[in-house]
C-alpha cells in the first residue's frame, strides 16, 4: 500500500504529460468509416455530414483525441464508463453455433483484465483517460465511473485531482443479489459508482423511488400523497445513493452473453438523472453497448468507444436489435484484422412475384484463420471442424451498402445471428431495385468479432 501511495504523484505527473502529448500530437486519421442505417428506418439519408451517433472501434485515447479534433471539447453532458476492475481474470466469450444437425457451444478469450504491473499499471492506464474525458465534458456535465472494491478508493484520489474534491457528488452503491459467497468475509454484493461534475452548474434531474410505510400501512399524513402496490402502502421520495437493481440474469430478455454486461435499468437511472433530451451521452468502455441502447431510447445522442472485437460485434447487433437511429462506425487506422475472408459464389439480378427487381447473393466459403485466436482444448477442435466443414456457421453479421459510390459506405441492409437463429443463410435475397451497373459494399464479422469487407460490381 505504501508503495502505491508513494507512486501516486508520479502516476499523476506522467498521466498529465501523456494526455497533453496526445492533445498536442499531430492529427491522425481514424481510418475507415461506415454509416449503419437500421432497416426499420426506411430509406437511408444520403447526407453523411448530418449528425449521427458514433461507435468507435479504437483505443479510447484515440477516440477522445478524434472527438477533440472534431470540436467536441465541452460538448458532452454525461460520460459513463465501466472500465476494467483489476479482477486479474480472463473473460470468455460464448457462442452457440450450428454444425450439421447439431448445435455446439464454444468459449474463447474475449478480453483480459490482468495487469502485469498490478495496481500501479492500472492507475497509469486510467489517469490520462480521466484527464482527457474532462476536456470533453460540458460545463453542465457529469461523469460516472463504475468500479468495485479493488480500485475505487485509489481512483477516487485521482478523480479528486482531475475534477476537484469540491465537484464530487456521490458514491452510488449498486447492490445486487448475484455473485459469490464466502465463509471468511461478508458476501461482496455491490459495485461502487463515483459521480463528479465539471462545475457547480450541472444537470441533475431528481429521480423518485418508493419508500414503504412502516408495516406497509397508510400513514394518512395531511398533504402527503400515498400509493399502494402488491407489497403495501408507500410514498415517493428523492432517490437515495444506494440502488437495488437486479443484475442481468441468465434468463433476462436483455442478456447478450457478455460477461460484464450492465442492466438497462441502471443506465436508465444515470441517463435520466444527469442529461436532458438531445444531450450527448458518451461511454468510452462501451462493452456490450447498454449505454448506447438506453441513450437512444431516452432521446439522447450518444458516442461509444471500445477496442474489443467481441464488444464491437455485440454492440452493433444489439443496437440493430433495438432499432436505434442511424450511427457511424469509426475504426482505428490499425484495425486491419483481416482474419477471415468471405467469398461470393454468385450474384445475380432477380424478380419477385410482384415484379420487383432484386438481388440474390449466394455466399461461398469463409476462410477462417485461427492463428491469432486464443482458443484451446475442445473449443479449438470444434472450431477447426466447423471452419473446415461448415465455415459459414462462423459468420455473425453481414451488412451491405446496396448503392456504393466509393465514398463512405451506408450499410442499409443487415442480417445477423440473434436469439434462436444462430446461422445466417447462405443465400441472401434483397429487393429494393436499381442494382444494375452499381457496386455493392459488403461488411462481415465472425462470431469472434473479427471483420473484413469487400466491394462487388453488379
Euclidean distance between CA atoms 77 and 348, whole angstroms: 48
* Residue found under cell 441513450: 295
Q: Nearest CA to 74 among 132, 145, 144?
A: 132
Three cell numbers written together for 50: 448530418
Burial tier of 16 (Cβ tally within 10 Å: 0-12, 13-18, 19+):
middle
Query: Residue 300: its pLDDT value, please?
Result: 97
Q: Are strands 227-228 and 233-238 parallel, antiparallel or unpaired?
A: antiparallel
Angle at 285 between CA 280 and CA 288, to 5 degrees: 95
* Domain 340-457 CATH assignment equals 1.10.3470: no
Q: What local confidence, expressed as pLDDT, does residue 2 receive? A: 55
Instruction: Note the pLDDT of residue 111.
Output: 82
Q: Tell me, which fold does domain 2-30+59-86+114-200+236-306 have in CATH? A: Rossmann fold (3.40.50)
β-pair partners for 411 = 36
Q: Which residues contact residue 283 at a Cβ distance below 8 angstroms, ignoring those fewer than 6 apart? A: 79, 80, 81, 82, 291, 292, 302, 303, 304, 305
Q: Where are the domains of the chain?
A: 2-30+59-86+114-200+236-306, 340-457
* Secondary structure of 391-426 as H, E, C letters: HHHHEEEEEEEEEECCCCCEECEEEECECCECCCCC
pLDDT < 50: residue spans in the chain: 1, 48, 335
Q: Give the global pTM.
A: 0.93
Whether the CB-CB separation of 85 and 150 falls below 8 Å is answered with yes
Write down the pLDDT at residue 434.
Answer: 66
The residues pairing with 192 across neighbouring beta strands, listed in sequence order, are 147, 173
* Spatial contact of 313 and 342, defined as CB atoms under 8 Å apart: no
Q: Quick one: which of 99, 109, 108 has its CA closest to 379? A: 108
Instruction: Give the residue from 358, 336, 339, 356 showing the smallest Cα distance to 347.
Output: 358
Beta bridge partners of 187: none
Within 8 A by CB and 6+ apart from 369, the residues are 339, 340
Cα separations in angstroms, 85 against 13, 126, 147, 202, 260: 23, 11, 6, 27, 10
The C-alpha cell that represents 275 in the structure block: 442529461
Amino acid at each position: 500500500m505504501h508503495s502505491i501511495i508513494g507512486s501516486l504523484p508520479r502516476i499523476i505527473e506522467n498521466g498529465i504529460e501523456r494526455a497533453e502529448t496526445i492533445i498536442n500530437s499531430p492529427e491522425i486519421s481514424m481510418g475507415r468509416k461506415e454509416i449503419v442505417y437500421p432497416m426499420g428506418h426506411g430509406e437511408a439519408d444520403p447526407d453523411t455530414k448530418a449528425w449521427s451517433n458514433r461507435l468507435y472501434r479504437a483505443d479510447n485515447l484515440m477516440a477522445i483525441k478524434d472527438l477533440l479534433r472534431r470540436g467536441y471539447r465541452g460538448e458532452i453532458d454525461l460520460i459513463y464508463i465501466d472500465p476494467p476492475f483489476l479482477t486479474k481474470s480472463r473473460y470468455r466469450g460464448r457462442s452457440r453455433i450450428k454444425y450439421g444437425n447439431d448445435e455446439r457451444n464454444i468459449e474463447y478469450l474475449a478480453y483480459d483484465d490482468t495487469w502485469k504491473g498490478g495496481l500501479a499499471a492500472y492507475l497509469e492506464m486510467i489517469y490520462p483517460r480521466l484527464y482527457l474525458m474532462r476536456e470533453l465534458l460540458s460545463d453542465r456535465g457529469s461523469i460516472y465511473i463504475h468500479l468495485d472494491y479493488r480500485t475505487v478508493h485509489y481512483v477516487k484520489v485521482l478523480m479528486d485531482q482531475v475534477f476537484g474534491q469540491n465537484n464530487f457528488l456521490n458514491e452510488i452503491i449498486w447492490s445486487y443479489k448475484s455473485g459469490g459467497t464466502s465463509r471468511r468475509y461478508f458476501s461482496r454484493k455491490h459495485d461502487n459508482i463515483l459521480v463528479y461534475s465539471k462545475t457547480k452548474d450541472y444537470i441533475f434531474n431528481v429521480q423518485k423511488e418508493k419508500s414503504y410505510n412502516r408495516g406497509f400501512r397508510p400513514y394518512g399524513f395531511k398533504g402527503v400523497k400515498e400509493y399502494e402496490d402488491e407489497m403495501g402502502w408507500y410514498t415517493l421520495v428523492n432517490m437515495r445513493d444506494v440502488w437495488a437493481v437486479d443484475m442481468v440474469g441468465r434468463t433476462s430478455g436483455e442478456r447478450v452473453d457478455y460477461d460484464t454486461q450492465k442492466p438497462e435499468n441502471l443506465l436508465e437511472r444515470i441517463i435520466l438523472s444527469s442529461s436532458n433530451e438531445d444531450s450527448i451521452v458518451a461511454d468510452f468502455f462501451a462493452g456490450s453497448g447498454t449505454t448506447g441502447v438506453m441513450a437512444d431510447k431516452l432521446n439522447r445522442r450518444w458516442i461509444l468507444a471500445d477496442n474489443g472485437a467481441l464488444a464491437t460485434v455485440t454492440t452493433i447487433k444489439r443496437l440493430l436489435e433495438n432499432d436505434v437511429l442511424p450511427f457511424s462506425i469509426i475504426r482505428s487506422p490499425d484495425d486491419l484484422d483481416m482474419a477471415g475472408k468471405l467469398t461470393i459464389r454468385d450474384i445475380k439480378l432477380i424478380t419477385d412475384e410482384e415484379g420487383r427487381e432484386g438481388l440474390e447473393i449466394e455466399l461461398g466459403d469463409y476462410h477462417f484463420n485461427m492463428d491469432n485466436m486464443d482458443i484451446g482444448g475442445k473449443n479449438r477442435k470444434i472450431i477447426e471442424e466447423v471452419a473446415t466443414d461448415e465455415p459459414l456457421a462462423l459468420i455473425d453479421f453481414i451488412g451491405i451498402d446496396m448503392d456504393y459510390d466509393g465514398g463512405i459506405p451506408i450499410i442499409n441492409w443487415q442480417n445477423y445471428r440473434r436469439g434462436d437463429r444462430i446461422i445466417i443463410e447462405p443465400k441472401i435475397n434483397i429487393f429494393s431495385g436499381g442494382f444494375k451497373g452499381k457496386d455493392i459494399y459488403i461488411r462481415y464479422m465472425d462470431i469472434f468479432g473479427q471483420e473484413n469487407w469487400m466491394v462487388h460490381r453488379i
